[in-house]
Chains A and B, each alone.
Chain A
């Protein structure tokens, strides 16, 4: 057991304990501060963990001192600590954004359970990333999902309830599939520890049970990942959820699903099984490609701004699916990079929308009119986040696009390179609809004079905006780790 092992447990335990604590103490102020504290503490721990993993290699922690594979093992390697960092960072920023925004959107009586659900979602997401146990992963997935259902239903539009219900149905089917898949694997190998599974599975690769398990897992994770055509729950869920929740889900939860997909295909089953024996590569590439084009096209015609960005998320997840499907080292690097960068850009965009809607309420394209002048900082954040989404240099989005296209060219799939670029151009179209609305359309006649959002909202937004620019210029963290993690996953490096 390594010395910093407990940190990996703490990132899960802290939010998990803080959640009931909020309810027990029963004061809004305490809940806010607790969330903030836990959020930033987790981020700090994730940063430490990343440094430790980079220096000493993977670290493992046996819960209750039950040695793996019998007990539950928490295990952090490069991939895990990288995803953990982005998840906790975004969570911390969202929690910093939350107090003002939640005050505006959630009635006072429901705020405490709301914070506690936020903390539970965070606990679940962190747990998925740190655990080395397949069943434990399922449990955390359910914790975060259940918390998300509750969170989405808190949107002030009544359609949030339906959106939440729909997500609940689809999400439950997904979770069930995952559970069935894990069950099949357990049947064949008698183990739930992922490392152990990876060693025992090759012996039984040829059985139908393992293949079926693989299929169940893929579809289940695909549902959580909102891979086309399993994305139907996502647009409304993001559109009608409270601002804080949209930002948190868009930036973290689908990313964690991408992580799970990578973990199972490249680590547990191994590349050879997933891409050579099973046609996962072509499936992911095809669905990713269709998802990019169709979701981007739909996004162009959306009138509700949050829905537009939600469809854009589906398209961006398509990029990640496509990159995973390329099954070469650059492809996996691109998927990991886009995972990180997309969290930054969608986090920035959804928080910027949160800041805008803090002043103007529901966000339709028309209601953005004139905001370029009245809320210059929030609007500028929207523009920069949007440019990152398009992939204009020197933003983080450009770096992801670079590696995506390079991956496509390296694997010889040059039509995919064209498709990725076409997706960028579609993104330009829908982002520019926002820009034109904010900067050119005449403000709607109305009695209320809109002013800039308060500083407490702008700070987290701009932290993410600047991160978008920073990680577009200095990529030693993102590209460096993504490349090494990809090398590890594709078995080409240490």
Chain B
């Protein structure tokens, strides 16, 4: 099979799945089986794509002369595509258990929009130039909107407004401007190693452009552009898990990484004042979001703020302008994805099994839901960055990056943040196992449905595996530069 066909398939499979879901609206079992199969096929395709020797290229259309919608594959994109396509079937498995036992309506719309969002995510991961990336970035916003507003309640509608408003106004107002400006200056938007700006362009212009790029990518949820993420937590848990801990937010930081590495080039980036400023802003975001997370009693909101904090790591890594920073940041894309999706799966499992949403209600739950809480502990420790969990490696590299770049304040930020993580994440399973229940335990509380449990145990296992076998992801993150 030719490489171009594979790339087309990576977009085509989820699109076809979306269509199939619509056609099978009346047969829930077949509809969900189709989504699962599509997920497995897609993961297989992405594996094939990333293993092809010569990177294939596929031109979809050429809307502006000289500027085509192009798909191709490079290490960073391969990493993102692998993570997203692996987690899609896992999340589908989880969603089948969750959506049914939670009695959610409009499930056809849900699975259809989900498949569309995955297609857009793959488009972002495999984009051959910034223009393609932007197009799929916008499509991802639009396709996730019906998922955020899934319940149709007033709260969901408000959240949807904030979601769309923040994401689109920043991407249209700033990112698009940066894009067209870059095109005007250089006449190309193709991702190129070492950047595309000729030496003649001044640092002032580049600094301004970098600010436009990073602040225009609100999906990266850098404070103060993070408000949409906690708001989006009104969505069903599978959406929060895959899209708002992995696909959408990672699309944001992925964009930042791509811009840093392939548009500016690390050498150029390292010398810019704006890059240093943004690194500090990311440091602020890491700490501030952690502090907010401590005050959140709603479990999903706490996880959302933790995500904001963790995304700050990646943006910071990208802005450091050193190779260890980029490697750490890209590795963190994968590590954080597996850890955070585990945490969200657990939060959803608790919700389904006990209808509890608050952290304060979880004391003593470890006895009734040992597997769920055990998985939560694994995810939390991986986010803290303790061995033997995957998060160790990315944090290690990021720390090294801050030292390499000489921004020792940020080294301190990383340490403090790790301590804070223990304080607001690890404490939850610990209290669940060791504290007495705050209220008399509800009778008959048991583990969540098998499908949910299977999914969360799977991702927790991967968190452990990634400590011992970080090789595949590590090699990709090394190969970026």
Contacts and interface: CB of A to CB of B under 8 A. Distances in A.
Interface of A: 387, 390-394, 398-399, 401-402, 405-406, 409-410, 417-418, 421-422, 424-425, 428, 432, 436, 440, 472-476, 479-480, 483
A410 B168 contact: no
B41 interface: no
Interface stretch (B171-179, B264-272, B430-438, B471-479): B171-179
Interface in B146-178: 149, 152, 157, 161, 164-165, 168-169, 172-173, 176-177
A475 B177 contact: no
Contact of A409 (B69, B134, B173, B184): B184
Interface stretch (B46-54, B58-66, B313-321, B323-331): B58-66
Given A421-B172, A422-B173, A424-B172, A406 B142 contact: no
Contacts of B468: none
A402 B64 contact: yes
Contacts of A480: 65
Contact of B184 (A387, A399, A406, A472): A406
Interface in B95-136: 134-135
B64 A421 contact: no
Interface in B226-262: none
Interface string B406-435: 000000000000000000000000000000
B277 interface: no
A474 to B, nearest CB: 6
Contacts of B69: 394, 473
A422 B184 CA distance: 20
A425 B64 contact: no
Contact of B177 (A393, A421, A428, A476): A421
A406 B134 contact: no
Nearest to B183: A406
Given A394-B63, A473-B63, 13 more contacts: A394-B69, A402-B180, A405-B176, A417-B180, A421-B176, A421-B177, A424-B172, A425-B172, A428-B165, A428-B172, A472-B63, A473-B61, A473-B69
B71 to A, nearest CB: 14
Given A399-B64, A425-B168, A393 B180 contact: no
Given A406-B184, A410-B184, A473-B69, A428 B169 contact: yes
24 contacts: A390-B172, A392-B142, A393-B138, A393-B139, A394-B61, A394-B135, A398-B63, A399-B64, A402-B64, A402-B180, A405-B180, A406-B184, A409-B180, A410-B184, A417-B177, A418-B173, A421-B173, A421-B176, A425-B169, A425-B172, A428-B164, A428-B168, A436-B161, A475-B62
Contact of A436 (B64, B135, B157): B157
Contacts of A440: 149, 152, 157
Given A402-B180, A405-B176, A474-B63, A387 B149 contact: no
B181 interface: yes
Contacts of B157: 436, 440
A428 B64 CA distance: 23
By secondary structure, the A interface counts as: helix
Interface residues of B, number: 28
Contacts of B164: 428, 432
Given A405-B180, A409-B181, A421-B176, A475 B169 contact: no
Nearest to A404: B180
B173 A425 contact: yes
Nearest to B145: A435
B63 A475 contact: yes
A473 B63 CA distance: 5
A393 B64 contact: no
Contacts of A392: 138, 142, 168, 172
B169 A393 contact: no
A2 B169 CA distance: 52
Contacts of B169: 425, 428
Residue of A393, A394, A417, A436 with highest tally of chain B CB at under 10 A: A393
A447 B225 CA distance: 46
Nearest to B168: A428
A215 to B, nearest CB: 34
Contacts of A418: 173, 177
Contacts of A425: 168-169, 172-173
Contact of A405 (B60, B135, B161, B177): B177
A392 B134 CA distance: 10
Contacts of B61: 394, 473-474
A479 B139 CA distance: 23
A460 B343 CA distance: 49
In order of increasing CB-CB distance, the 9 nearest A-B pairs are A393-B135, A473-B61, A409-B184, A405-B180, A421-B173, A425-B169, A440-B157, A475-B63, A424-B172
Contacts of A391: 172
Nearest to A387: B142
Nearest to B131: A393
Nearest to B132: A393
A475 B172 contact: no
Nearest to A418: B177
A428 B171 CA distance: 12
B266 to A, nearest CB: 27
Contacts of A479: 64-65
A36 B172 CA distance: 40
Nearest to B184: A409
